[in-house]
């Protein structure tokens, strides 16, 4: 568990590094087409020589321009940041002049839910009967997807209503199989977090705290 927190801490630091550089990156992209952008409320023309301060992001050995902040934390095995020194630039080229973020995922292909066009959470929510006049309730579960493609609940993270929890657990047990995650061509265990809050669109009640003075 401690190693997972360490990996997540390093990943957050890497994401922050990308976020800090995002404004300069947007300016660079706009300047490439000589566009006008608004910075702090002031619209101005950008020069093509504006330099992007975006680090090179490499996921599972392949450079990517996708936002690594969108990678689910549970999918990450290791994160490493490299400085923009001569050794890094010599290895990865000029694109590494602002540093490199190396992200290693737990698998080559993530697990995919067996029903096309719908997420696991959406599918489970549709299977659970919870009328619109019911009080808002929430269940959050951590689950694993086995190499055989079965979703198995591993831990209860939150449950505000026992009835909803029973119905969600039943829906998970009866759900269609997954296409398991793959690593080096072999099915492997993966994990995820299921969040169900019903009725849809209804806010959870505020928690009241009693303060004794």
- Please count the structural domains in the chain: 2
Shared domain for 120 and 192, answered yes or no, is yes
Residue 41 lies in a domain: yes
Shared domain for 92 and 137, answered yes or no, is no
Shared domain for 74 and 130, answered yes or no, is no
Q: What is the pLDDT of residue 145?
A: 97
Shared domain for 49 and 130, answered yes or no, is no
Q: Please identify which residue in the block is written with the tokens 């301060």.
A: 53
pTM of the model: 0.63
Interatomic CA distance for residues 198 and 2, integer angstroms:
33
Structural domain ending residue among the three candidates 82, 105, 128: 105
Q: Is the pLDDT of residue 12 over 80?
A: no
Interatomic CA distance for residues 129 and 171, integer angstroms:
10
Mean pLDDT of all residues in the chain?
Answer: 81
Structure-token pair, residue 185 = 């061509």
Torsion of CA 41, 45, 51, 54, to 10 degrees: 40
* Cis omega (within 30 of 0) for bond into 199: yes
Residue 104 pLDDT level (bands cut at 50, 70, 90):
very high
Residue 204 lies in a domain: no
Residue 58 lies in a domain: yes
Interatomic CA distance for residues 182 and 83, integer angstroms:
31
Shared domain for 28 and 74, answered yes or no, is yes
Query: Among residues of the chain, what percentage have pLDDT more than 70?
Result: 72
Q: Encode pLDDT of 23-33 as tens digits.
A: 433 443 443 33
**Domain interval for residue 31:** 2-105
How many Cβ atoms are within 10 Å of 113's Cβ, its own excluded? 22
Residue 177 lies in a domain: yes
Q: With left for phi above 0 and alpha for psi between -120 and 50, is residue 99 left, alpha or beta?
A: left
The answer to whether residues 47 and 34 touch, using CB atoms and an 8 Å cutoff, is no
* CATH assignment of the domain containing 162: 3.30.1150
Shared domain for 140 and 67, answered yes or no, is no
CA 49 to chain centre: 33
Q: Encode pLDDT of 163-187 as tens digits.
A: 999 999 999 999 999 999 999 999 9
Residue 211 lies in a domain: no
Structural domain ending residue among the three candidates 61, 86, 105: 105
Shared domain for 56 and 124, answered yes or no, is no
Interatomic CA distance for residues 128 and 82, integer angstroms:
47
Shared domain for 132 and 58, answered yes or no, is no
Q: Encode pLDDT of 31-64 as tens digits.
A: 333 433 333 333 334 344 434 588 999 999 999 9
Q: What is the mean pLDDT of residues 150-162?
A: 97
Report the 3 state secondary structure along the chain.
Answer: CHHHHHHHHHHHHHHHHHHHCHHHHHHHHHHHCCCEEEECCEEEECCCCCCCCCCEEEECCEEECCCHHHCCHHHEEEEEEECCCHHHHHHHCHHHCCCEEEEEECCCECCEECCCCCCHHHHHHHHCCCCCCCCCEEEEEEEEECCCCCEEEEEEEEECCHHHHHHHHHHHHHCCCEECEEECCEEECEEEEEEEEECCCCCCCCCCCCCCC
């Amino acid at each position: 568990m401690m190693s997972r927190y360490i990996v997540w801490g390093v990943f957050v630091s890497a994401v922050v590094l990308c976020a800090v550089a995002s404004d300069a990156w947007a300016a660079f992209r706009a300047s490439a087409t000589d566009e006008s952008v608004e910075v702090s409320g002031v619209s101005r023309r950008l020069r093509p020589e504006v330099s992007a301060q975006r680090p090179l992001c490499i996921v599972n050995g392949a450079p990517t321009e996708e936002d690594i902040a969108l990678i689910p934390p549970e999918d990450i095995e290791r994160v490493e940041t490299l400085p923009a020194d001569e050794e890094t630039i010599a290895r990865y080229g000029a694109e590494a002049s602002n540093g490199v973020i190396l992200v290693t995922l737990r698998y080559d292909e993530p697990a995919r839910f067996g029903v096309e066009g719908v997420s696991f959470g959406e599918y489970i929510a549709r299977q659970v009967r919870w009328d619109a006049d019911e009080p808002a309730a929430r269940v959050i579960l951590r689950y694993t997807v086995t190499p055989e493609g079965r979703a198995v609940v591993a831990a209860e993270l939150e449950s505000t209503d026992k009835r909803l929890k029973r119905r969600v657990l039943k829906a998970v047990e009866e759900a269609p199989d997954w296409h398991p995650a793959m690593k080096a061509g072999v099915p492997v265990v993966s994990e995820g977090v299921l969040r169900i809050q019903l009725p849809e669109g209804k806010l959870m009640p505020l928690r009241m705290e009693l303060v004794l003075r």
